Structure 1
Amino acid sequence: MRPLTLILLLAASGPASAGVRSQTLVVADDVADPATLDPQKQFVEKNHTLLQQIFEGLVRFDAEGRLEPGLATSWRWEDDRTLEMDLRRGVVFHDGEPFDAEAVRFSVERYLDPGTGFPAAAFLSSVERVEIAGPHRVRVRMRFPDGILLNRLAAFVLIAPPKRFAREGEQGFAAHPVGTGPFRFVSWEKGREITLEANPGYWAADYPRVKRLVFRFLPPKRQVAELLAGNVDIVTELPGTDTLGVMRSGVAKVVKKLSFYTVGGSINISTGPLSDLRVRRALNHAIDKEELIRYDLLGNGRPIATMSMPGEIGHDPGLRPYAFDLAKARRLLAEAGYPRGVDLTAIIKYQTERSANILVKQLARAGIRVKIHKSPDATLSADIQKGSWDFTFGGCPDPFAHSFFVQSIFLHSESPFSIMRNPEYDRRLVRMISKLDPVEQQAAGMELDRYVHEQALAPFTYQKIRTYGVRKSIRFTPPVTGMPYFYDAGPDSHEKTGR
């Protein structure tokens, strides 16, 4: 499992017909059961993807990562620490309980309660409390000015019914979750699948486009085999080695989407060889991004200049990636006092072992010899902090649609995944997110992006193009966040379907 990663899709689609509503959509999005169906207790990409079909947030991201209304229809800043939000009227939870301001207050404050154990609570640290300003209006009070509050809400916060939760308790609610989303929970066959059905009272007219949505848990190779056999409609992570077979199958197609996902890391700039800027720049000049994309992603990626990505708020499109230049890398090492090369240690995620092995071979060509230590997700942050590493390396999605998220994960001094201690970087990051004005925030983000690039504060690699295997008769629009909604997925009106 990987951090989350989260979030939300609303794409345009035509009205559903009675024939479409009889369809069952089967999705292979994960290899095993989710850890929980309690939205306030999870921070895992696959888990969140499933839950956001049942639950909804106040705001969400469209397919291109732009914020749009969800259960909140409008919002305004009252001052630099207060956001007032108007809520959607006439919405009810799947059990008939009305959605209102109390549901928002209950849900947000449950995320904030340390007793809940929400794994990503630190990312909601700007929120102090929620005040009820009317049956369908709330005020979000903050501890400090936070220009990315809406991104935080879109990424993490899903709304649950307080009265039902009070009746059922944590365990009862997690066993039969109830939200306002386009699909309602039906059953969970452990080790096999979770079945949802269309919410007949969903507030968005003509959605969802299918009657049933099934999340089936299968190993990667089984996912592809079931797609080609016609038993699965969508595979959300199609291995690059299977794309050609799917394209030639006649029953399925490959859908690609540039995503907010990169592989990067954190560098120890306080001690050791990488405390020298010349060594950090040498490391980046030794990375052949095109080769990394070719062998790690089978071509499904684009080189990037830092860890920010095109489409994210704060990204500077004028920055150019470090050129692959082994001669320059060796020259910089010699200037830094390492004419015979340098030895480094790195800790990596198990899931990025393939890309890490390619990277290690590339760095060795420049005389940068790296000994790697592999760590599972469950102990990664602890292993990072207790070890003495020169750099870290791992993949990270961006559920915020903002350069803040990946940078804060890898580079901020207080992140459990960072080994960098750089007060100047921390100051610049805080300055960026404190800007409530979008133009000022973008300018501060680009300034931060240039600083990260000039100081070579991480190994810079690529932006991933995600590949999906989709049954030919199905229309599906993937989101840039990599965590889709499925309420607008369904039979293509120009294709005949067998189910």
Structure 2
Amino acid sequence: MFKRKYLATFLTSLLAVMLVISGCSGQSSTETNQKKATDDKQDQPIAKKEGNSITIAIKDNLISMDPQDTNDTLSGSIQSTMLEGLVGFDKDMKMIPVLAESYEASEDAKVFIFKLREGVKFHDGTPFNAEAVKVNIDRVSNPDNKLKRYSMFELVEKTEAVDEYTVKVTLKEPFGAMLNNFAHPAARIVSPEAIKKYGKDIAMHPVGTGPFKFLEWDQSDHLTVEKNPEYWQEGLPKVDGIKFKPVPENGARVAMLQTGEADFIYPIPTEQAESINGKDGIVVENRPSIVARYMAINTTKKPFDNVKVRQAINYAINKEAFLKVVYRGYGSEMDSIIPEGLQFYSKQTPYPYDPEKAKELLKEAGYEKGFETTVWGGNNSDAIKAMEFIQQQLGLVGIKVNVIPMESGTLSDKIWSVQNEEDAEVELYYGGWSSSTGDADWGIRPLLAGGSIPPKSYNVAYYQNEKADQLINAALQTADPEKRKAAYAEVQEMIWEDAPWAFLVVEDTMAGMKNYLHGVYLLPDGSMSAREAEIK
């Protein structure tokens, strides 16, 4: 069914893209689109807005307002208006102090000390202090609580309130990326009194220190926050309230922005971005992200156990055309195993589109006549389009690819629930990853370390390289950024050469807003910040 539905559109798009690419300039689509959005924001008349509250339409339903028991980016985005961590990220994913005024790590990356901001109160009036931080870290690092984010804090040995505004966290073993874990949404601090009062129901009653306070949550319709008049940061908040409204259907979400029923929507469907940008007071903004799209190759299965076959696949796929067809140019080609926006990224020499080189490598590997294989992926339109593109490209070098889209639950069971490596049926898997700690560790270790093979983590390529594992571990044994940088540079070069993935693209984040709205933006990991929302 899916092939009949999408194939005609796919082939038409591919032909058009090939014609465009043959005459394109050196300026990237992302640069062009960003410039256009900026010009439109300046040139359009300012749309009219009544009142000082805003509505944000989002793609999916919200799951939980407990940061320590949340693993979806969307819920974490809404939590950010109400809850804050010791440290966090700015709009470029650079670490910044938030509830901690300063922080330091021991040279062996085992002890972390935070000096806390004084005079801050939770929304329920209780004081923010070292004891409050200890309660939260003790909660998430306790395996008995079975919280979804336990794995990020399982190395915590003890947390101490040294004095009222100093916290000391000691780990069981060195972990150089721990500060980035504290900047992750999972480390946001909830009122200890609220945890005691609501217990497991804290997910429905968030109480933090942020610029907005929780007002109501109708799970069938919306979640609303209101202004916190006692917020510690001068000048914020600038709006009276924010309503977050789940609207799964793309067209309905866009219509809300056009009519003014919503002031900000995300994501914007790429196929509608250009048609609505600059009209009805709408600005579409796309920015580089750290969301990588790749095709994992099961390195334990023939013929993929041969590195020449894996490299051939990388030469056989035209990444520029892939970006045009699947993401309409909103993104960039991968040039390392992690996106450029991550800490300790190191650029590699790209695999150029060279089908003749691919055929040569296949011949050297003993597969001159090609072979047949299967790619798995999601059943949404973008995933299907991506897999069909890969199917077409590999077919040109003699690799016959069968495309198998799956519902997310089925795909999860077939990939992540495999208990033994030899039982893994996956051959090729089209997927993506957002490294929401902003650090190279979270972009490499869960996906490509030997100890991360399912069901432990997400290494669906079943890639194992002893030297690479040594480098990954070495980067975590120190808090020295220069030593970490050197280790990650070497491991990126090594894995890029080993090609356990077809390295594809880094997609843009896409959002639409009315041109009177400022201070609401998407971060490179695909999360949203509305803390500084302002109507001008």
Instruction: Tell me the TM-score normalized by structure 1.
Output: 0.90
Runs of 4+ in structure 1 over 6 Å off: none
TM-superposed deviation, 1:55: 0.8
Q: Which residue of 255, 264, 273 corresponds with 1:225?
A: 255
Which one of 370, 377, 384 corresponds to residue 401 of structure 2? 370
Q: Distance in 2 between matches of 1:48 and 1:142?
A: 25
| Residue 14 of structure 1: aligned partner | none
The aligned counterpart of 2:226 is: 197
What SS is found at the alignment partner of 1:461?
Answer: strand
What is the identity, as a one-letter code, of the residue corresponding to 1:404?
D
Overall identity of the aligned pairs, in %:
26
Please point out which of 284, 289, 294 is paired with 1:264.
Answer: 294
Q: Give the equivalent residue in structure 2 for 1:482.
A: 526
- How far does residue 99 in structure 1 lie from its aligned partner after superposition? 0.8
1:95 Cα deviation after fit: 0.7
Paired letter, 1:47: S
Matches within 5 A, 1:53-132: 53-80=81-108, 81-132=110-161
Task: Please state how far the C-alpha of 1:160 moved relative to its aligned partner.
Answer: 0.9
Q: Summarize deviations over 1:303-327 as a string: whole Å, max 9, x none.
A: 112331113112113x122101111
User: Aligned pair 1:51/2:92, yes or no?
Assistant: no
Q: Which moved more, 1:308-317 or 1:473-482?
A: 473-482
Change (3 A) 1:163 1:248: closer
Is the 2:107–2:478 contact (alpha carbons within 8 Å) kept by the matching residues of 1?
A: no
Change (3 A) 1:49 1:140: same
CA contact 1:28–1:234 (8 Å) conserved in 2 = yes
**Aligned residue runs from structure 1 range 242-391, under 5 A:** 242-317=272-347, 319-351=348-380, 352-378=383-409, 380-384=411-415, 385=418, 387-391=424-428
Shift in CA distance, 477/42, structure 1 to aligned 2, threshold 3 Å: closer
Conservation of the 8 A alpha-carbon contact between 1:314 and 1:449: no
Shift of 1:381: 4.4
Q: Which of 454, 473, 482 does residue 430 from structure 1 map onto?
A: 473
Q: Point out where structure 1 has 5 or more consecutive residues left out of the alignment.
A: 1-19, 493-499
User: Which residue does 1:496 correspond to in 2?
Assistant: none
Q: CA deviation at 1:432?
A: 1.9
Amino acid at match of 1:150: L
Q: Specify the alignment match of 2:38 in structure 1.
A: none
- Separation (CA, whole Å) in 2 of partners of 1:141 and 1:95: 30
Distance 1:21 1:230, change over 3 A: closer
Q: Which moved more, 1:380-389 or 1:189-198?
A: 380-389
Are 2:451 and 1:451 equivalent residues in the alignment? no
- Opposite residue 313 of structure 1, the aligned amino acid is Q
What is the CA distance between 1:443 and its match in structure 2?
Answer: 1.6
Query: Distance between the aligned counterparts of 1:377 and 1:139, measured in 2?
Result: 41
**Aligned match for 1:212, one of 241, 244, 250:** 241
Q: Matches of 1:28 and 1:437 in 2, distance apart?
A: 42
- Flag the 1:137–1:376 CA change in 2: closer, same or farther, 3 A: farther
Distance 1:216 1:299, change over 3 A: same
Check conservation: 2:342, 2:439, Cα contact below 8 A: yes
Deviation at 1:401, TM superposition (A): 1.4
Partner secondary structure for residue 414 of structure 1? helix
Q: More helix by proportion, 1 or 2?
A: 2
* Equivalent position amino acid for 1:360 in 2: Q
For the residue of structure 1 that corresponds to 2:80, the secondary structure is helix
The partner residue of 1:36 within 38, 61, 64 is: 64
AA aligned opposite 1:406: G
Give the counterpart letter for 1:418 in structure 2: N
Residue 443 of structure 1 aligns to a residue in which SS? helix
- Counterpart AA for 1:123: M
Structure 2 CA distance, aligned partners of 1:376 and 1:136? 48
Secondary structure at the aligned position of 1:292 is classed as: helix
For residues 164-189 of structure 1, give each alpha carbon's deviation from its aligned partner in whole angstroms, at most 9, with x where no partner exists. Answer: 21122222x22321111111110112
Deviation track 1:102-126 (CA, whole Å, cap 9, x = no partner) reads 2111111211222333224223333
Residue 51 of structure 1 and its aligned partner are, at CA, apart by 1.2
Cα displacement (A) at 1:248: 4.1
Residues paired across the two proteins, number: 470
Amino acid at match of 1:491: I
**Contact 1:258-1:466 at 8 Å conserved across structures:** yes
Paired residue secondary structure (2:360)? helix
Q: Does 1:404 align with 2:404?
A: no
Cα distance in 1 for partners of 2:104, 2:442 equals 23
Does residue 445 of structure 2 align to residue 417 of structure 1?
no
Cα distance in structure 1, aligned partners of 2:175 and 2:216: 39
CA contact (8 A) 2:315 2:351 kept: yes
State the match for 1:394 in structure 2.
Answer: 431
- Give the Cα separation in 2 of the matches to 1:371 and 1:84: 53
- For residues 134-173 of structure 1, the aligned pairs below 5 Å read 134-155=163-184, 156-171=186-201, 173=202
Q: Please list every run of 5 or more consecutive structure 2 residues that lacks an aligned counterpart in the other structure.
A: 1-48
How far apart, CA to CA, are the structure 2 residues paired with 1:221 and 1:46? 19
Q: Secondary structure at the match of 1:196?
A: strand
* Closer, same or farther: CA 49–448 of 1 in aligned 2, 3 Å: same
SS in 2 for 1:361: helix
Cα–Cα, structure 1 residues 354 and 114, in superposed 2: closer, same or farther, change >3 Å?
Answer: farther
Query: Residue by residue, what CA displacement relative to the aligned partner does 1:64-115 show, whole Å, maximum 9, x if unpaired?
Result: 1110001111112245211111111111110101111121111112112223
- Give me the whole-angstrom Cα distance separating, in 2, the residues matched to 1:313 and 1:458: 21
Q: Report the CA distance between 1:339 and its aligned residue.
A: 0.9
Segment of structure 1 superposing worse, 290-299 or 467-476: 467-476
Instruction: Please tell me whether the aligned partners of residues 255 and 468 of structure 1 are also in contact (alpha carbons under 8 angstroms).
Output: yes
Counterparts of 1:30 and 1:203 in 2: how far apart (Å)?
Answer: 31
In the aligned structure 1, how far is the partner of 2:151 from the partner of 2:126? 30
Change in 2 beyond 3 A, CA 1:381/1:405: farther
How big is the alpha-carbon RMSD for the aligned residues of Structure 1 and Structure 2? Answer: 1.9
Say whether the 8 Å CA contact 2:80–2:531 is kept in structure 1.
no
AA in 1 matched with 2:79: L
Q: CA deviation at 1:376?
A: 4.0
